[in-house]
Structure 1
Amino acid sequence: MNVRRLTPSPRAVDWGLFAAVGTLLATGVATMFTGTPSTAWVIDLHAIAGVALVCLLPVKLWRVRRRVAPERLTGRRALSVALTLDAAGALVTGVWWVFGGSLDLGPWGLFHLHIALGLLVPPLLLWHLRYRYHSPAEVTRHGRRDALRYAGLVTAGALLWRLQGPVNDLLDTAGADRRYTGSREEGTGEGNRFPVTSWVADDPDPVDAGEWQLTVGGRVERERTYALAELPTGASEDAILDCTSGWYSDHEWRGVRVGALLDAAGADDAGAWVQFRSVTGYRWSLPIEEARDAVLATRVDGERLSHGHGFPLRLVAPGRRGFQWVKWVREVRVDKRREFGEWVAIFVSGL
């Protein structure tokens, strides 16, 4: 079999690599917000793009192998080699994770390494394109043939991604227990005995329950303030906490229904968003109708929340990823519009 007849033309390979990397970056960021089964297609697209990259990268390396020989290596080509190694590292760690691999890097692990290597690819690729850019118009000479080859490649990628599930089941690996988001189960139903993680650098001192107060304000008829003992904590919610660190945990959460707090304060009809603010300054907003069904939890599986898990109050938002479950909540605020600054706060609050 003539393998060359099955591979896209050189320029099509270049632009295929660019498209695969772009898709991986976009879907990788989007996976942070995929908390419901209806968004599982984002994970699937991320995986298919990864398979395509696995197929295209060796083709590219074979075609440029003579240019990167030690005696012909220049600074620009060294950068290209660094890009290749980084992309290969991101691919290997991703595949390793899918098939149950793990790696102890102190507070981080294999999943974090995969993310870090993946985020490094785009700047290296843009720097590479600064010297090696070719117009997409150069692809058109083999357009129809390349389109058929890429259709076959994407189809093969989708089939390989679907096959990994049965392979994991057959081998009985840790990868077989992954949720559709890619996360693995840890600590389900075991109270506070699930991983303690914080987004970026949030790490406050333990909250003094005697001095702590919850404020419900913003676009409300009457601002309300509660001590911990004054909260009407009769609500419960069974919900999965799915963390972007690569784990998930299913628990019964008990506390106060946000809707009860909004009703007691008399939320304004113009209020469209409810923002939850932490003692650290970290904050996140939910649409008001979604927020009404959320719970501010004081207990998990019958145990009082530990400090690491957000005592005295942690937002429980079913269908949202873990970084949106604000910990150490001190304020609930109703607003007409979402605050743009919260997108900054989630990165700098702990600093």
Structure 2
Amino acid sequence: MGKRPGSLVRGSLAAVRPPPRLVDWSIFAIVLFEAVSGLVSFTIGSPSAWPLFWLHRIFGLTLVVLLGFKLARVRHRLTESGRWRPTTLLSVLSLVAALGALATGVAWAVGLDVRIAYWTLLSVHVGFGLALVPLMVWHLSTRFRLPRRQDFDRRRTTLKYSALLVGGAAAYRAQEVANRLLETPGADRRFTGSQPRRGEGNGSFPVTSWVADDPEPIDRAEWTLTVRGEVESPLEYAYDELSLDGDERALLDCTSGWYTVQRWRGGRVGDLLDAAGVRDEAEYVRFVSVTGYRWSLPIEEARDALLATHVGDERLSPGHGAPMRLVAPGRRGFQWVKWVDRVDVRRRGDPAQWLVTLVSGFE
């Protein structure tokens, strides 16, 4: 008689299942990779970086299988009340965070676009992922067991992990094909995972702020733009003195999970730098918000940027950065500084900008 289907499935899984300790450490390694690659991806807007995003998704799908192996092994500890220990709750919390990260990631990939309170599914996905890292570290510390020498068989281990990763890549590719065939909202995602927001002008894309940046509307009559630092002639402009001959169609890709293509109009940064007379030592240009938020660009990149006062045919709304915001093509949305009132020309970059991005709005 032939083998039963269940036996065939179990046999197939056993063929690709690594030893238990390798499974545990593989889950931890993938969680760390997912957290790091996810955070790094927030700083990348260039299509040339697509491999990082692909790897993030492929490893995430591979994690589903590894978690399945883990659950099959320890399910009796969770289902039998007599086996519960103080560390069991930690295991459950880790599982909830892992399943939450995976579920929201997959839902976002197929185009489900709902909000949970203030946050998009992508933001919730990030929250679960960040919570999972310390939970996994804590969980491993309670059951610390390094892999044994016999857990490693170079040929078998290589084949098993290759099969898992190829399976993850195939699943991701199948999901993308299904999105296109079924014409789901996920079919229009960028390589970053962001979904489109179509239309023109202020009302066509969301108002978002990084962390807590949310100043009161700024009076254009009182506002000025200062250009200072490594320049021959520091400058100060009132709103009505700005040259608005810059006009560019550029894509804004927000880390909260959406993108929009808009026509932006304002002053060219290169023209401001030429008017101020940049010194030879200058290497960076820092754009500073009225909230203290700031971001720096290499000077050659900054020359091609725009300080926008209009989006479409409309003046920028306060929520979108009026009177002036940075338009930096190829950069992610949090680097498009809003409410700019100062341009600093500098010899060096500004590492402290990473800290300032987290605290600027809490003053």
Q: Fold match, TM over 0.5?
A: yes
1:139, CA displacement in angstroms?
A: 6.1
Q: 1:67 aligns with which of 74, 77, 82?
A: 77
Residue in 2 that maps onto 1:46: 56
Partner of 1:149: 160
Unaligned runs of 5+ in 1: none
Q: Once the two structures are superposed, what CA deviation does each residue of 1:171-201 show, in whole Å capped at 9, x if it has no partner?
A: 2211111111100111343444310000000
> How many residues in Structure 1 have an aligned counterpart in Structure 2?
351
Partner of 1:115: 126
Alignment-derived partner of residue 249 in structure 1: 260
Distance 1:102 1:193 in 2: 16
Q: Separation in 2 of the partners of 1:192 and 1:10? A: 53
Match of 2:294 among 280, 283, 295: 283
- Residue 219 of structure 1 is matched in structure 2 by 230
CA–CA separation in structure 1 for the residues paired with 2:16 and 2:286:
54
Aligned twin of 1:169? 180
State yes or no: 1:261 paired with 2:251.
Answer: no
Cα displacement (A) at 1:42:
1.2
1:18: Cα distance to partner?
1.5
User: Which deviates more from structure 2 when the two are superposed, residues 217-226 or residues 2-11?
Assistant: 2-11
For 2:45, the equivalent position in structure 1 comes to 35
Contact in 2 for aligned 1:276/1:285 (Cα 8 Å): yes
> Whole-Å Cα distance in 2 between the matches of residues 53 and 66 of structure 1?
21
Report SS of the residue matched to 2:330: coil
* Contact 1:274–1:332, Cα closer than 8 Å, also in 2: yes
Amino acid at match of 1:233: L
Distance (whole Å) between structure 2 residues aligned to residue 138 and residue 29 of structure 1: 34
TM-score (norm 2): 0.94
Q: Give the counterpart of 2:214 among 203, 211, 215.
A: 203
Which whole-Å CA distance do the structure 1 matches of 2:274 and 2:203 have between them? 30
Q: 173-182 or 200-209: which moved more?
A: 173-182
Q: Which residue is 1:302 aligned to?
A: 313
Partner of 1:128: 139
Contact 1:191 1:302 in 2 (8 A): no
Q: Distance in 2 between matches of 1:341 and 1:258?
A: 23
Match of 2:89 among 71, 75, 78: 78
Output one character per residue of 1:50-106: Cα deviation in whole Å (capped at 9) or x when no partner: 011011101101011122332211111210111011101110110011112133323
Unpaired stretches in structure 2, ≥5 consecutive residues: 1-7
| 1:30, distance to aligned residue in structure 2 (A) | 1.2
Q: CA deviation at 1:107?
A: 1.9
1:11/1:139 contact within 8 Å kept: no
Matched, 1:14 2:24: yes
Deviation of the 1:146 alpha carbon: 1.7
Q: Deviations over 1:226-263 (max 9, x none)?
A: 00111111011111000000000000101011011011
Q: TM-score, normalised by structure 1?
A: 0.97
Q: Is the 8 A contact 2:309 2:324 kept in 1?
A: yes
CA contact (8 A) 1:97 1:175 kept: yes
8 Å contact from structure 1 (residues 36, 319) kept in 2: yes
Give, in whole Å, the separation in 2 of the partners of 1:169 and 1:141: 41
For the residues of structure 1 that align with 2:127 and 2:255, how far apart are their CA atoms? 13
Q: CA deviation at 1:342?
A: 1.3
> What are the residue-to-residue correspondences of 1:291-330 with 2, within 5 Å?
291-330=302-341
8 A Cα contact 1:99 1:173, kept in partner: yes
Distance across 2 between alignment mates of 1:139 and 1:220: 65
